[in-house]
Amino acid sequence: MAERLAFTAKISLGLAMSGIIYAMFLVVPQYVGLGEAGRIIIVHVPTAWVTSAAFALSAVFSIVYLRTRSALHDASAVAAAEIGTLFCIFATVTGSIFAEVVWGTFWNWDPRETSILVLLLVYAAYFALRSSVDDIARKRRLAAVYNIFACVTMPFLLFVAPRVADSTLHPNCAFLQGSKCEGISLDLNGAKIGQLGDVVVELKSVETTGELTQARVEVRMPGLTQNAELTPSLDASGKPADRPEFPGQSFRMVLIEANPQAGTVRVNMQAPGTGLLSNQRTLWVFLASNLTFGFLALWLYRIRATILHVSALVETQEAH
Amino acid sequence: MSNKLLWRATKAVFVREMRSELRSRQALNAVALFAVCSIVAVSLGLGPLNRSAELPLIHAALLWIVLLFAAFTALSRVFVVEEEQRTAAALRLAAPPHAVYLGKLLFNLVLLSALTVLIALLAIVLLRMQVKAPSIFAVMLAAGALGLVSGTTLIAAIIARSSSRSALFAVLSFPLLIPMLVTAVRGTALALAGMGWDRCLAPVQTLLAYAVALFITSLFLFATVWED
């Protein structure tokens, strides 16, 4: 009975994975500004999630190991760390490809790129430590200690991350320095100058022509000799239509709301890719992909943990 | 064990470390020369740099890279020596684990402080590093040294018990030190550029929080590493 259940689970996992790959290329629509490259998030984000989950699991097993001193818990910690490393490499490579296509650089020292690199280094060190201690009990103990110790430093990456790069290209308003998620309001008859990050923006005009409501915004930023003028616009349904790029950067200016009669607008800066999940089809494929990759990791973990459990038991017996 | 006894044992371990170091001056000589060599190499390689907006950041980064590698050569010795001279077993019998950890941590702190002062002075002289906010600069270095020591002393105990010691120390420590290192470099650059406490407080706070978190975790974990 259990065997048949496992078989069914395996087959459905395979089918789900094929479904995700099919949907990634054929169901998810192209995203304005990202083109075909946007599809990679269907793989990239779930692998990144699985990575963090696997490493957290590994640290938990290390704590349990130090309490119980059971070889099986140590083997579970190793299996989780191995799966985490595998998915960490997936996430890094897919992210890097996406970054090259869309942002024009494989590596940007973006906060999340830095943290995932540190994760990779930590677990490389974890495996290096394991391979250089001969005594089995001592190896397990020292590796568990290192795993927990490394886990304590992780939160500091979150504090440090925003300091590393002046800007992040990841689509997440919380990480955009100086940019508030709600953007900035400008008024032709009042405060028509404002600041987005280190960019000074000045509203020149806002008017409706045909279906489009267009604002003319003058942009002054460090490193730019001439002032640039951007014209973001809204379509008839109040959704952003044209999102011009800030000169020399990959960020875009987006018009969130505009009232031509009152002469007021609200603008914000966006990294390319923001709002990707507001499309229903993309959202559902994305959620399904998270689930499938989660189960895939769980399945891989089960296989690896079983093998390691057996070899841990053999090792322990030989040591006796 | 009562606090008083622990403190006495800690002091004994620390005094023992200091005494054996002052007798042989092994660590001090090796590390001081290492520091001089690396600062000279950096200064020769770069030549005089032009004043620019990015100069404080460059100086801060070079200073911390030299400090980091000096720390890699210096800070693992306290535990490696015990294994090499086969005195670890005796120390295990003579002092409780917490006292061993605290004593060695204090010794590492003294060693690294001396090293930091030396490297900073050399950088000011040879690299022509200009320090516009000296007191903040000193606080930043002290907080960074605290973070460096609390992050590496437990690792030193771990690698002393493995087979490839010196290489492993850098490999294991580096990823854990990245958050601290980046904060220290940014903070030191602010201090070099003469920024006030309003800008410099946050990095100092982050460094101190990092040091405290790793120190407490080390206290929890050290007995496990030290047990035989």
Q: State which amino acid sits at residue A65.
A: Y
Interface A-B: count of C-beta contacts within 8 A: 92
Residue B13 to residues A75, A149, A306, B4, B103, Cα–Cα distance (Å): 36, 24, 45, 14, 5
For residues A146 and B158, is the Cβ–Cβ distance under 8 A? yes
Residue B152 to residues A116, A208, B13, Cα–Cα distance (Å): 21, 63, 18
Residue A28 to residues A120, A285, A287, B60, B149, Cα–Cα distance (Å): 31, 7, 12, 47, 51
Domain count, chain A: 2
Comparing A55-69, A200-214, B35-49, B129-143, which segment has the lowest mean pLDDT? Answer: A200-214
**Pair A257, A297 in one domain:** no
**Interchain pair B179, A122: CB under 8 A:** no
Tell me the pLDDT tens digit for each residue of B156-183.
Answer: 999 998 887 778 999 999 999 998 998 8
Residue B51 token pair: 């004043």
- pLDDT at res. A245: 77
**Pair A163, A202 in one domain:** no
Q: Which of B161, B210, B224 minimises the CB distance to A66?
A: B224
Using the Cβ of B207 and the Cβ atoms of chain A, whether some distance falls under 8 Å is answered with: no
Top mean pLDDT of A228-232, A266-270, B139-143 is at: B139-143
Q: Which of A122, A134, A148 minimises the CB distance to B175?
A: A122
Does the residue A2 lie in any domain? no
Separation of alpha carbons B176 and B153, rounded Å: 12
Nearest CA in chain B to A159: B206
Using the Cβ of B187 and the Cβ atoms of chain A, whether some distance falls under 8 Å is answered with: no
**Interchain pair A163, B183: CB under 8 A:** yes
Residues in Cβ contact with A13 at an 8 Å cutoff, skipping those fewer than 6 apart: A292, A295, A296, A299
**Interchain pair B176, A134: CB under 8 A:** no
Average of per-residue pLDDT across B58-80: 91
- pLDDT surpassing 90 at residue A102: no
- pLDDT at res. A31: 63
Rounded to the nearest 5 degrees, what angle is found at the Cα of B152, between the Cα atoms of B205 and A92?
80
- pLDDT at res. A261: 84
Residue A155 token pair: 């939160």
Does the residue A31 lie in any domain? yes
Distance from CA of B156 to the nearest CA of A (A): 11
- pLDDT surpassing 90 at residue A125: yes
Separation of alpha carbons A53 and A291, rounded Å: 13
Average of per-residue pLDDT across B65-77: 91
**Pair A16, A120 in one domain:** yes
**Pair A121, A209 in one domain:** no
**Pair A263, A308 in one domain:** no
Separation of alpha carbons A148 and A127, rounded Å: 14
- ipTM of the complex in this document: 0.92
> By percentage, how much of chain A surpasses pLDDT 90?
33
Q: Is the dihedral of CA B18, B23, B26, B30 positive or negative?
A: positive
Q: Does the reported pTM lie above 0.95?
A: no
Q: Which of A144, A146, A156 minimises the CB distance to B179?
A: A156
Nearest CA in chain B to A156: B179
**Pair A165, A34 in one domain:** yes
**Pair A127, A198 in one domain:** no
For chain B, give the mean pLDDT: 90
Residues in Cβ contact with B117 at an 8 Å cutoff, skipping those fewer than 6 apart: none
Q: What residues make up the domain containing A71?
A: 10-174+282-319
Comparing A56-65, A211-220, B188-197, B213-222, which segment has the lowest mean pLDDT? Answer: A211-220
**Pair A26, A42 in one domain:** yes
Say which residue the tokens 């090293």 belong to.
B115
- pLDDT at res. B4: 87
Does the residue A159 lie in any domain? yes
Q: Is the dihedral of CA B42, B46, B48, B53 positive or negative?
A: negative
Does the residue A314 lie in any domain? yes
Distance from CA of B221 to the nearest CA of A (A): 6
Of the candidates A166, A167, A173, the residue with the CA atom closest to the CA atom of residue A254: A173
Per-residue burial over A177-202, b = 16 or more CB atoms within 10 Å of its CB, e = otherwise: eebeeebbebebeeebebebbebebe
Q: What is the 3-state secondary structure (H, E, C) of B139-176?
A: HHHHHHHHHHHHHHHHHHHHHHCCCCHHHHHHHHHHHH
Distance from CA of A156 to the nearest CA of B (A): 6
Does the residue A5 lie in any domain? no
- pLDDT surpassing 80 at residue A86: yes
**Pair A65, A191 in one domain:** no
For chain A, give the mean pLDDT: 82
**Pair A159, A225 in one domain:** no
| A 129-168 residues inside an 8 A Cβ radius of B | 129, 132-134, 138, 141-142, 144-146, 148-150, 152-153, 156-157, 159-160, 163-164
Does the residue A276 lie in any domain? no
Does the residue A158 lie in any domain? yes
Sheet holding A252-259, edge to edge: A184-187, A264-270, A252-259
Q: Which of A142, A153, A163 minimises the CB distance to B158?
A: A142
- pLDDT at res. A274: 58
Q: What is the 3-state secondary structure (H, E, C) of chain A?
A: CHHHHHHHHHHHHHHHHHHHHHHHHHCCCCECCCEHHHHHHHHHHHHHHHHHHHHHHHHHHHHHHHHHCCHHHHHHHHHHHHHHHHHHHHHHHHHHHHHHHHHCCCCCCCHHHHHHHHHHHHHHHHHHHHHCCCCHHHHHHHHHHHHHHHHHHHHHHHHHHHHHCCCCCCCCHHHCCCCCCCCEEEECCCCCEEEECCEEEEEEEEEEECCEEEEEEEEECCCCCCCEEECCEECCCCCECCCCECCCCCCEEEEEEEECCCCEEEEEEECCCCCHHHCHHHHHHHHHHHHHHHHHHHHHHHHHHHHHHHHHHHHHHHHC
**Pair A117, A59 in one domain:** yes
Separation of alpha carbons A214 and A243, rounded Å: 11
**Pair A136, A187 in one domain:** no
- pLDDT surpassing 90 at residue A64: yes
More confident residue, A271 or A42: A42
- pLDDT at res. A174: 38
Distance from CA of B154 to the nearest CA of A (A): 9
**pLDDT band, very low/low/confident/very high, at A166 (cuts 50, 70, 90):** very low
